[in-house]
Chain A
């Protein structure tokens, strides 16, 4: 009987949510019709056929609006915008034989009319520095010479700056960032979840010391202008980072900030210590400020944002309460677990309101490891910074890339935010690697 009542209550809640959802959808559809319809029918884009257009489905604070620059670009990962507005996008997988796309809007209608592709390799990282375009595959880092109009002059024969980095199919992407002193920083993700003897296998103990850390699970520093570098010629800059996809050089502090993807599967691997809810929430996705020699503690510890402590990993004798990692750094910001931070950008523009200046935008690709709990993420977050330190709580900045709460909860989002870039006019660009969408977010009072 009780069960029946519960079931009925549950059903009526569900019906209510469904009804609310339908009302919301109707509202969105109405708003969408009034704007998208006309603006998106302006002809075929070179890549997609339906850009640009104002995207009212993305929810942001008052005054901000999102326009779709391009759709259908493929697995669009990181993005960079040149001082003249030219956009370069790195694709995870080559599309039509091209792994990098250059988009230029020559007539100023907000839609790229010159689209060229080059680079026959998939990957994630892309950056511009001192007249060069840098891009990474999952093993190497290349650079291309740019002319004054940000055309690539050697698209078929780039210099291979870094080569032979480990790619063992897990956490294989190589994100890149450059400083102002001629160095490039490359993430080499750990090819493991928690450095167990048998990866992701229940009952398998942790490897002590973790041998993966000699060649992965950290950040390596290389010279930005020297071809053919690899492990021996680079500097092992920071360790104890399971996997970093989003990273950025902070011009205020002159330091590298990274977003770590925290470990998975606390419940699957240690059901006696963690229930599914704890496993969905833990550990935090952490932002770290790095210096040469930084150690962030993986795989021996993880950060628990509720206890606000570094907790000994269960593979290494932890029980969810014992602390560890006395020599490991604390995070600068701790976000909810498994949201998958794939993009990090410190905003230096003047277009957005003052509170955004020098703050951090973080693109969350969205979770999968919260099942059977609802999945989360699929948004761009913002953290205000002052004097190089967070000056307030993080907040959701741009939401609903999932296309509705049910799609988010099911882990079947319409879009997954991945890369972030700042345009010369202070606009914020966001990529999605499911459909290959690029949004330009602008602000006006």
Chain B
């Protein structure tokens, strides 16, 4: 069974949000406060009828409602029609019992609807309430009810619901999520019925035998031996009533260390793996919050491999890690932002490359509004310097993210950007052929007007450094001041000694940067760092300035 779509209306920050999901794996990314956790909470609500581990019926609080809807209500005359409502609809595949047309789109489909709405039975009481209260400053949640139905319009009961989800969120282990509830969920997913019963029986017997220990009996015999407290027999016993206490009395242990005392990273891993193993085979959807938390790179890599292997349940993972995203295949990305976007149609080859080379910062292209892609660190440093020089702050402070593409090249990043719609400015060397490397290359992306290319039009200025030299060689004075900033003292002295005129000086500088290889690469970066660190100003080629201007 899997969730094909969710519709959320009025729940926290979501107003009329529709998200489609992949059958197996969904990697949910988004900026901070974009609603990643809220999305998982919404699934948990609709599927399990639970909010933070407790039945929603007893957990209706004002914080669940959309802030704007709440303000609209508070500004209104408070009649019940203005009370904000929450609706979550989950569309399923593989759950025929939940089929019908009772959903907001009136389509014949399988699914679940959860509504948190005004309880009509309380209309009279509510009328009295608004009569008596002049300054209502919060939502009177006491007048709400939860309506939990499938698309066949039959009520869903927690114990015989057809679909089940498990939300793993280590950060919530305490205190909002009751420990016993949480362990209970884990036990539930890990043991089959028989094993659970055996565990329970043995636990009860153990407590029973505690009561019969000779020393415990001795203590009890002395407790009220002269019957001062009561005429009856008073004793201290282990509580053997009920079934619930099994969870509160049990604890997971790793190498004999209690679960809450082992490392956070290990806790995290174990919970995720237990849930994925799901020996009880009773979980349809597993939701994991930020698996990268508290894990070293090596352990994360192992865990991610484990996650990638699993096939039986539908998985929802939130993450801030490009590594997790690339390794689990970037085509599974679900971006939450102003719009909801997926990368289903991304080029298969690009996805494959990223799976093999997961270390690249692909998430930044997905999350940033404005991106500048550059070839090397020198370009990045000079762009930042130039921006700082003109605006008094670094470009990232204005939401412009400069990414060095390195090994995987522009194509992979642009492939992501073109599906997401990120504004991208590509700063690229013309490599001696502006027509072929810039114009023709750019034409591949002519359908995406949010992607544009920047380079020097002069074919002789084939990379960054020649363009810098050209920008600063108006006369000997300007070129000298540039050389003084860009070169080390030793090299600058050599430059002054060796060269007698503007042409020679230009030639010197060209040759200084003029080749490939380790040595030259180092010289270029050193120069960029010197320019970046210097308080003196140099002249910049125009295309850099253009690349930095977004509208």
The judgment on whether A and B are partners is no
